[in-house]
Structure 1
Amino acid sequence: MEEVKERLLDCRDWILDRVDDIKDFLDDNPNVKRWLVEGCIALAVGILAGVITFSVLNHEKKTLAVSEEHAATPVKEQSAEGSEDISAGDSLEEPATDYGDVVIEVVDPGEYASAVANWSQEEIDAAVSERSHYLEETSYWPPVESYWQSRGVSGNARFATYLFDTSNKVYSASDFEGIPKDVIHIIKNEMYARHGYSFRDANLMNYFMGQVWYSPSVMPADFSEKTFTETEVKNLDLLNSIDK
């Protein structure tokens, strides 16, 4: 035991001597000391940056997965979580096709939604064809289609154009007179869809998946109405008062 103890003491003395040597070396070479400190700081910053980058990329991967999941097939059933306040009601009335002499200003069918404004006609045609099956799974498309017909809009403009330009113009109640309830409901939810809102309601989700400009990217729990501009808030308040 005495021999072991002596060896341990010798080892301790050797370590202390080396520490003293290092201190003397650093005192004699201040630049080396500074380089060591800067190196440690750079290493810590690099590790922190790596952690932050990983977190951001992981979040983007989850968001992309949401979009790909919704783009795969039409939604058949509503989520067990239930629908949010903006979802469809339990029953849908037959849409009225007679709009009388009401004049409603809509987006020029030649002005496609910004998301597809730079697409070629071939790209739009292909996207419309690829998404057409979604509209077969929603009861909202027939009344909206009738509405477009009443406005003289046909062809792929119906799938690449917003119903109302609610992001840039403040509307009044008279602008929506004579429009069926189901179409009003879609106009209101279109405001959410334009910001990537991912609908839990299957009927709404299938309708908007049939619109080539729509790309679901924000889950309901992550969506904030602070996203809306002042113009959109005014239009949303109006549509909420109409869509009851």
Structure 2
Amino acid sequence: MEEFRDRVLDAVDWVFDRFYDAKDFLTQHPNAKRWIIEGVSCVVVGILVGVLTFNILNHEKKKLAVTDENAATPVQEQGSEENIEAGSSMDGVNPDDFADVVIEVVDPGEYASNIAGWSDAEIEAAVTERSGHLEGNKYWGPVSQYWESKGITGNARYCTYLADTANKVYSPSDFDGIAPEVIHAIKNEMYARHGYSFRDQDLYNYFMGQIWYEPTVLPADFSEKTFTETEVKNLDMLNSIDPL
């Protein structure tokens, strides 16, 4: 017991010795106190800046997070996918200028690039998880029939783009006889491929049923400058024939 008490007293003496050493040091070096205060201030400012930066980045991440609540009610707004006007970059260009371009509307040879490496099990799981979005959807019925007419069945219908609008320039004649809902879906697919988060309930649910779709950009943050020259040409043409 006495040995323990002696150790405690030694520890207390050591603490007091260090305290007086620090006091003597500050007395002999008047600038040391200022250096310590400045150092502590820099550390505090650094921590505050780090916390502020983290909160800003976290806020942006949450802002891009899309849930079913974000797509509650169909909204018609200027510049949205429902009333896009032909892009100014194609002013004065007649869509009939592309009439001599002979291209298949759908090239189902490959899945969307972001899921091309998925296994059959991963695709099946994703299709099952998202299948609820397509129940009663007004676009899925016509699109499903369209796929069947092209010989595309099963899970491939959820993995493949309706049209290769990013790489091929289409003409109005390429879409002769295609249901209006399918044409409208193809036009909006161009936005979906760039992560556009649809406010229209039917469009949102239709694309959520496509396992390649990843909504990451809110309408207010989307810029049509994202589109390539080929996409702009296709968008202008599709706007001219889209009946919806």
For 2:30 and 2:162, the matched residues in 1 are separated by: 76
Q: How does 1:15-30 map to 2 (within 5 A)?
A: 25-26=30-31
1:86 aligns with 2:60: no
For 2:76 and 2:51, the matched residues in 1 are separated by: 39
| Shift, 1:197, TM fit | 1.5
Residue of structure 1 in register with 2:59 after alignment: 58
Residue of structure 1 in register with 2:214 after alignment: 215
Unaligned runs of 5+ in 2: 1-25, 84-101
Pair 38,24 (structure 1): closer, same or farther in 2 beyond 3 Å: closer
Which aligned runs of 4 or more in structure 1 are off by greater than 3 angstroms? 21-24, 32-43, 67-70, 81-85
For 1:83 and 1:143, the matched residues in 2 are separated by: 25
For 1:82 and 1:174, the matched residues in 2 are separated by: 29
Q: How does 1:72-83 map to 2 (within 5 A)?
A: 78-79=73-74, 81-82=75-76
For 2:112 and 2:27, the matched residues in 1 are separated by: 68
| Shift, 1:190, TM fit | 0.5
Deviations 1:153-197 (A, max 9, x none): 111111111011112223233332332222110000001111222
Q: How many residues matched?
A: 200
For 1:209 and 1:239, the matched residues in 2 are separated by: 22
For 1:83 and 1:202, the matched residues in 2 are separated by: 14
Deviations 1:206-239 (A, max 9, x none): 2112111112222222222222222222211111
For 1:63 and 1:142, the matched residues in 2 are separated by: 30
Determine helix, strand or coil for the equivalent of 1:200.
coil
Determine helix, strand or coil for the equivalent of 1:156.
helix
CA-atom RMSD in angstroms? 3.1
| Shift, 1:147, TM fit | 1.3
Residue of structure 1 in register with 2:198 after alignment: 199
| Shift, 1:42, TM fit | 5.2
Tell me the TM-score normalized by structure 1: 0.69
Tell me the TM-score normalized by structure 2: 0.69
For 1:106 and 1:242, the matched residues in 2 are separated by: 17
1:47 aligns with 2:42: no
Unaligned runs of 5+ in 1: 1-20, 89-101
1:224 aligns with 2:223: yes
Residue of structure 1 in register with 2:104 after alignment: 104
For 1:23 and 1:40, the matched residues in 2 are separated by: 23
Pair 194,23 (structure 1): closer, same or farther in 2 beyond 3 Å: farther
Residue of structure 2 in register with 1:152 after alignment: 151
| Shift, 1:105, TM fit | 4.2
For 1:78 and 1:69, the matched residues in 2 are separated by: 9
Judge conservation of contact 2:130–2:211 (CA < 8 Å) in 1.
yes
Deviations 1:64-121 (A, max 9, x none): 2x24756xxxx7x634x44665339xxxxxxxxxxxxx97242334x11122112110
